[in-house]
Amino acid sequence: MTNRTTSRIRRFSALIAGLAAASVALSGCLYAMIPEQAAPRPSRTSAPDTEGVAENLLQYYGQTLDWSACGSGFDCTEVTAPLDWENPGDGEIQLSVVRHQAEGTPLGSLLTNPGGPGASGVELIQGSLEFAVGAALIESYDVIGFDPRGVGQSTAVTCLDAAGMDDYLYGIPAAPRGTPEWEAELLQAHKTFADACEANSGGILEHITTINSAHDMDLIRAVLGDKELNYLGYSYGTFLGATYAKLYPEKAGRLVLDGAIDPSVPGLDVGATQALGFESALRAYMQDCLDSGECPFNGTVDDAMADLGALLASADRLPLESGDGRMMGADAMMTAIIAALYSQDSWGILTQALTEALQGDPATAFYLADFYNGRENGAYIDNSTEAFRAYNCMDYPVETDPAAEEATMARIREGAPTIAPYWNGPDSCEVWPYPPTGTRGEITAEGAGPIVVVGTTNDPATPYAWSEALAGQLEEGVLITRVGEGHTGYNKGNLCVDDAVEAFLLDDVVPEDGLRCE
């Protein structure tokens, strides 16, 4: 770890890119068996809602959607949106949308977002429908997934080829950790990545922002023919949903924000709070591992955490070679650990990965890290890392106060000693081609009506305090607490949470504020 105040706190949440709602991603993709869906019904097309739309936007809001079958039980379309909502004549982008039509009488559309920013909403719904939403919602809503601008099958951010991404995500710096030379290597890697994004993304980087994406979401609502937006957003999707409610309070219908981000928290505090959250989750995992009788570590939780720290330090000094010739250093090993902490269902795989790593074999750790980074058989199957960086570098103001940076690192060192050595480094957004346009501040969404916020007490990625904060900021925020481990709370097996969320989305029954689900 470096104590140099010129360093930036690494936005380690960038590593969250492929797993923004990792309880959806890891649990859903690694474990959930999704049953085959029924054949699609005849596609419905509703008249767009153009009431009150400005004349220069009518060509977008007045679109008639052309749906086509795209897999068993699903239909897909594209929506054309302005590249720049402030200047709608300056170009267009395409938004990819997938729909699973209600199996019963439809209440309307339910838009969803899996988080990130950068995770594919199309992939979430097509690949994990019954994990993303419960059966009652599938029965009563047209469930909608969409890839936000810059993501997946929409007009996308494109950066490096697979070899370049391997170097960027798995490369091991030649200089010792914490030295000026090490920082310079990392900053150059960030610049190479950023320059490639600018060169290969067709001029869209400046417009990949949450505010633009919230405007896109209102457009999707309107062309689907819905007068109000009904929405279920996970993780970063809570920030997108809250931003929508701020911009369009009169169009906000039933909104559920699960695993909330506090929009008022600066980037430095985001990194520190997440570091402490993952350390807490890691300690919970370690206690479970020790209790299982199959743990590669012994003694107390503190003993086991110290031994894990020694394993990471060893991989930092002497990376482990995989059977495919790749080398795993400490950063990639930490990525693997972080990936598995999103869901308690992944703890068994983490135990296997650490057991093998102690024996010199990083194969399972690479499996976790590759899943986290969207890497499969040497190729990258999504652009979640690229889109994540694009959104965050535009949404978060760059912070340059050396005293604040050092205070943040001191907080991380004290509260997350195992993770701390791998949580620092130059801020990748320092070399982004465009300055950020986003600001940080409370969102009250005055006039939007009740908005349900779900928080999990030991959520590592979006710590519970953020859900408390967002629910408190919103003019009519309602907090549901899930007591437990893992990221996000709805559709994770807690009937108390599920019943409250579904009663709200289906019947407009507002939960009791402060409902606590053990």
- Please identify every residue annotated as catalytic: 235, 459, 487
> Tell me, what DSSP letter sits at residue 11?
-
β-partners of residue 98 are 76, 145
Residue closest to 11 by CA, chosen among 461, 432, 426? 426
- Among 117, 141, 118, residue whose Cα is nearest residue 129: 141
Given CA atoms 457, 240, 347, 423 in this order, what sign does their dihedral have? negative
* Beta-bridge partner residues of 97: 77, 146
User: What gap in Å lies between CA 324 and CA 371, rounded to an integer?
Assistant: 16
Q: Which amino acid is at 417?
A: P
How far is the C-alpha of 15 from the C-alpha of 338, rounded, in Å?
A: 8
Q: What is the DSSP letter of 43?
A: P
Whether residue 458 contacts residue 484, with contact meaning beta carbons closer than 8 Å, is answered with yes
Locate 516 and state its tokens: 């606590």
- Start-to-end CA distance of the chain, whole Å, equals 38
- Torsion angle of the four alpha carbons 406, 409, 413, 416, in this order, in degrees rounded to the nearest 10: 160
Q: Which among 283, 232, 308 is positioned nearest to 485, based on CA atoms?
A: 283
Cα 429 from Cα 415, distance rounded (Å): 25
Q: Which two tokens stand for residue 394?
A: 């535009």
